Structure 1
Amino acid sequence: MINNYDKIAKHYDSLSRLVFGKSQVAAQVNQLNNIKENSAILIVGGGTGWILEEIAKLHPSGLKITYVEISAQMLALSKTRNCGKNEFLFIHSSIEDFSLEDHFDIILTPFLFDNFSVERCRIVFQKLSYRLNKGGLWFLVDFTIQAKSGKWWKKLFLKVMYKFFGLISNVEANNLVDMLPYFNDANYKLIEERSYYGQFIKAMIYQK
C-alpha cells in the first residue's frame, strides 16, 4: 500500500523530532488557537495522534473530530491518546478511498500533500475543499522550497527524505507539489502564515 507508515509508526515521532527538533510540532500547535468551540474538525494523516492531546488542552469537550489515517499502526496509537470528552470518529482509510459525507468547519492536513503525486494532490484537494464549510478554515502544514534562501540544501534534504520514505513507506512522490495555486484558484484567503526550520516548513491557515 502506498504512502503507509506502518513500519515506522512507533518511531515516527522520535525520528521527526531528532531531525527537525520542535519545528514540526510548533508549526501545528501554533495554529490550534484558531479552533472555535463546538467545531466539526477533519484531520487527515494525523500520524500518531499527538495533536489530539494538544487540541484537548484547549478544548476538552464540545468538538466533533473525524480522524482519517491510512496507517493501522498510527491509528492504533492515536486511539490511546487523552482526547478529553470530545466526540471522535476514527477511520482507517486513505483519504482518496474514504467516502466523506459530513461537512466540516476546520480541516487539518499536516504533512499530507508531500506524499502525493500531482494528480493525487488535485483529487484530494478537490475532495476536501468540497467538504469544508464556507468560511471554514484549512490548516496546511508542509515542507516548502519557495523561500529565496537555502534552496540547495532544502532540495537535497527532500531528495534524501523521498528516497528514505520511498523505501520504508512506499511514498509515491519524489517531488514536492506547490499547493499555493490550488488554494488561489479556489479563491481561498490566506489569513495566517508562519515559517519554521529555516523556512523549510511552512504553516498556513486558509479561509474558504
Structure 2
Amino acid sequence: MTNNYDQVAGSYDMLSRLVFRNSIVHAQQVVLPFLNVPCRLLIVGGGTGWILEELAKIHPSGFVVTYVEISGKMIDLAKKRNAKQNPVSFIHTTIEDFESSEKFDVVMTPFLFDNFGNDKAAAVFAKLDQLLLEGGKWLFVDFYIDKKINGIWQKILLKSMYWFFKIVCRVEASKLPEMEALFRLGEYNVIHKSYHYRGFIQSVAYQKVKPAQPAFFQK
C-alpha cells in the first residue's frame, strides 16, 4: 500500500525531531488557537496522535474528533493518547476511501498533501472541501519551497526525504503539489500564515468562503 507509514510508526516522532527539532510540532501548535468549541474536527494523517493531547490542553472538552489515518500502527499509538473528554473516532483507511455523511467545522491536514502528486492532491482537496462546512476552517501544515528564492538546501533535503520515504513507505510523490492554487481557486481566505524551519515548513489557517462546487475541480 502506498503512503503507509507503518514501518516507521514507532520512530517517526523521534526521526522528525532529530531532523527538524521542534519545528514539526510548533508548526501545528500555532494553528490550534484558531479552533473554537464546540467543534466537529476532521484530522487526516495525524500520525502518532500527539496532536490529540495538544487539543486537550486548549479545550479538555468540546471537540468531537474524526481521526483518519492510513497506518494501523500509527492509530494504535494515537489511541494511547489522553484526549480528555474529547471523543475520538479512529478510522483506519486512506482519505481516498473515507466516506462520511457528516460535515465538519474544521479540517486539519498535517503533512498530508506532500504524499500526493498534483492530480491526487486535487482529488483529495475536492473531497475534503465537500466535507467542510461553509465558513469552516482548514488548518493546513506542510513542507514548502518558495519558488521566488533559490532554496538549494531545501530542495536537497526534500529530495532526500522523498528518496527515503519512497523506499520505506512507498510514498508516491516526488515533489510538492501546487496547494496554494487549489485553495485560491476554492475561494478560501487566509486568516493566518507562518513559516518555520527557515521557511521550509508552512502553517496556514484558511477559512472557507463559499459552499463546495464539485464541478469546479473536475478536469
The two structures have a TM-score, normalised by structure 1, of 0.98
Equivalent position SS for 2:138 = strand
Whichever residue aligns with residue 29 of structure 2, its letter is V
Q: 8 Å contact 1:110–1:142 — kept in the other structure? A: yes
Q: Which runs of 5+ in 1 are unaligned?
A: none
> Root-mean-square deviation (CA), in Å?
0.9
* Deviating more after overlay: 64-73 vs 146-155: 146-155
Matched, 1:159 2:159: yes
Query: Can you list the C-alpha shifts for 1:79-125, whole angstroms capped at 9, x where unaligned?
Result: 00000011211000000011122111111000000001111101100
Q: Distance in 2 between matches of 1:93 and 1:150?
A: 38
CA distance, structure 1, for counterparts of residue 115 and residue 155 of structure 2: 15
Quick check: 1:110–1:141 contact (8 Å CA) kept in 2? yes
Match of 2:5 in 1: 5
Shift of 1:149: 4.1
Partner of 2:46: 46
Q: Is the 8 Å Cα contact of residues 109 and 139 (structure 2) preserved in structure 1? A: yes
Return the alpha-carbon distance in structure 1 between the equivalents of residues 42 and 103 of structure 2.
Answer: 9
In the TM superposition, 1:81-96 aligns within 5 A as 81-96=81-96
Q: What is the one-letter code of the residue matched to 1:76?
A: D
Aligned to 2:115: 115
- Matched residues in 1 for 2:62 and 2:138: separation? 19
**Cα distance, 1:13 vs structure 2:** 0.1
State the TM-score, normalizing by the size of structure 2: 0.93
**Greater alpha carbon shift after TM alignment, 139-148 vs 158-167:** 139-148
Aligned residues: 208
Does the aligned pair in 2 maintain the 1:67–1:88 contact within 8 Å?
Answer: yes
| CA drift at 1:30 | 1.2
Aligned to 1:62: 62
- What are structure 2's unaligned runs of at least 5 residues? 209-219
Contact 2:115 2:172 in 1 (8 A): yes
Q: Does residue 21 of structure 1 match 2:21?
A: yes
| Offset at residue 150 of structure 1 (A) | 5.1
CA distance in 2, matches of 1:100, 1:21: 36
